[in-house]
Amino acid sequence: MKVLFVVPPLAGHINPTVAVAAELTARGHEVAWTGPAEVLPPLLPTGATLIPSGERTGPGGYGALHGRWRDLRGAAALRFLWEEALIPLAHGMLPGVEAAVDAYAPDVLVADQQALAGAVVARRRGLPWVTSSTTTAEFTRPFAGFPKVAEWVKERIDGFLAASGAPGGWDPRFSDQLVLVFSTPELVGAGETWPEHYAFTGPALGARPSDGSSFPWRRLDPVRRRVLVSLGTLNREAGGRFYAAVLRAAERLADRVQLIVAAPADLVGDVRQDHVLLQEYVPQLALLPHLDAVVCHGGHNTVCEALAHGLPLVVAPVRDDQPIVAQQVAACGAGIRVHFGRPRADEVHTALSAVLDDPNHRRAARRVQASFAAAGGAVAAADRLEKLL
């Protein structure tokens, strides 16, 4: 079987495909990726087959696009996501995905929810196609109380389909053959009913390009409880005030808590306290087994990776799907949501103390962890892909 992964230029959307691809390769299948070559190469395994698709998005490429999006919130962020990012990306990727199919001749396309071109090309070519769902926000009817917003999103999608010559009346975000959901109902919402072709596999975790060899492991405190503070790869530049609030909150816990802060030094400032370890980048998957809790922005990958290790969370959502993911964490009891835009040290201190000291949060995190383990991760995803053909 030859599998072509169609992905956007976002690390959190690419990482699960790398784990699934490794499992497929171990079983003797062939895999390749198509997406913006400006971003993908460092996120893929050494020697991976990459067939470029997606033109640079204006002057400065995807980096400049992110710079314009970084400080947006709410409706402005949603509008930017669709009008400036996803729809232009879909149009830009269409020719490259067509060429990738011609060059690679896949048996199945696995298209990320936010790489709409993959679904359109698959339908044009009559290829089996699968949705790779790396965020679960859209499974919770996020606009149920905002019908005009839901209609606006639908209009953007319908407009793309019409402009690309595809028939209307379907949603390229959701395959009718197989949807791989890298989570479980225990986190998304156990009361929902899902179609049989929705496969909740839990997170697909695998090796990352950084193996952690340069991380100062000896500086991890053997006595204090260790807490990772991370705003992911796309939100850290907007986090200056939030980092400051977390550091102030941790001062009162310095005798028993060590913070491992994943952030650029120019955003955090001069950190000399012995209970703070500042690193611009950390080997997150390798580090998680050594931690007691995580403070993060509510990115789906970071949340699921923390819960896969049974770690409770303090979640400060920034935009897009993050408020929904944060609500999922709070609703299942595995963590506490705090403010990002107006961070208060006392609020962060209370939340961090609670997730460290109240055993209920850790028990809830471990319940989700058990559901992830039972779901099967990359192995289960590969099983479902094999059964599709």
Q: Which residue has the tokens 């403010």?
A: 339
Rounded to whole angstroms, what are the CA distances from 123 to 68, 130, 170, 295, 327?
Answer: 33, 11, 11, 41, 35
Provide block-wise average pLDDT over 10 residues at a time, the chain (389 residues): 96 94 97 94 94 74 59 74 90 96 98 97 97 85 69 93 94 96 92 89 83 84 96 63 90 94 84 88 94 95 96 92 92 95 91 97 98 98 95
> What is the predicted pLDDT for the residue at 84?
85
Question: Tokens 């499974």 identify what position?
Answer: 139
Host H or E run for residue 131 = strand 129-133
Residue of 241, 256, 345 whose CA lies nearest to 293: 256
Q: Name which of 278, 317, 281 is nearest 296 in CA terms.
A: 317
Task: Establish whether domains 2-177 and 217-373 are of one fold.
Answer: yes
Strands (E), 290-334: 293-296, 313-315
CB distance 294 to 316 below 8 Å: no
Please give the Cα distance from 44 to 236 (Å, whole number): 22
- What pLDDT shows up at residue 91? 95
Per-residue DSSP letter, 259 = E
Please state, in angstroms and rounded to a whole number, the distance separating the CA atoms of residues 5 and 97: 10
Cα angle, residue 258 at apex, residues 255 and 263 outer, rounded to 5°: 140
With contact defined as beta carbons under 8 Å apart, do 37 and 225 qualify?
no
Which DSSP letter does residue 271 get?
A: -
Which helix (DSSP H) or strand (DSSP E) does residue 162 occupy?
helix 147-163
Confidence at residue 64, expressed as pLDDT on a 0 to 100 scale: 57
For residues 144 and 146, give the distance between their C-alpha atoms in angstroms, rounded to a whole number: 6
Contact between 228 and 285 (Cβ < 8 Å): no
List Cβ neighbours of 26 (8 Å cut-off, separation of 6 or more). Answer: none
Task: Give every strand in the sheet of 2-6, ordered side by side.
Answer: 50-52, 30-35, 2-6, 108-112, 129-133, 179-181, 198-200
Question: Residue 325's closest CA among 358, 348, 357, 296?
Answer: 296
The CATH number given to 217-373 is 3.40.50.2000
Instruction: Look up residue 154 and give its two tokens.
Output: 């639908």
DSSP 5-72: EE--S-HHHHHHHHHHHHHHHHTT-EEEEEE-TTTSGGGSPTT--EEE-----STTHHHHHHHHHTT-
User: What pLDDT is stored for residue 171 in this prediction?
Assistant: 95
The answer to whether 318 and 352 are in contact (CB under 8 A) is no
What's the token pair of residue 205? 């975790």
Architecture in CATH for domain 2-177: 3-Layer(aba) Sandwich (3.40)
The model's pTM: 0.91
Domain spans, the chain: 2-177, 217-373
Q: What is the pLDDT of residue 62?
A: 59
Give every CB contact of residue 21 below 8 A, 6+ residues apart in sequence.
3, 5, 31, 33, 45, 48
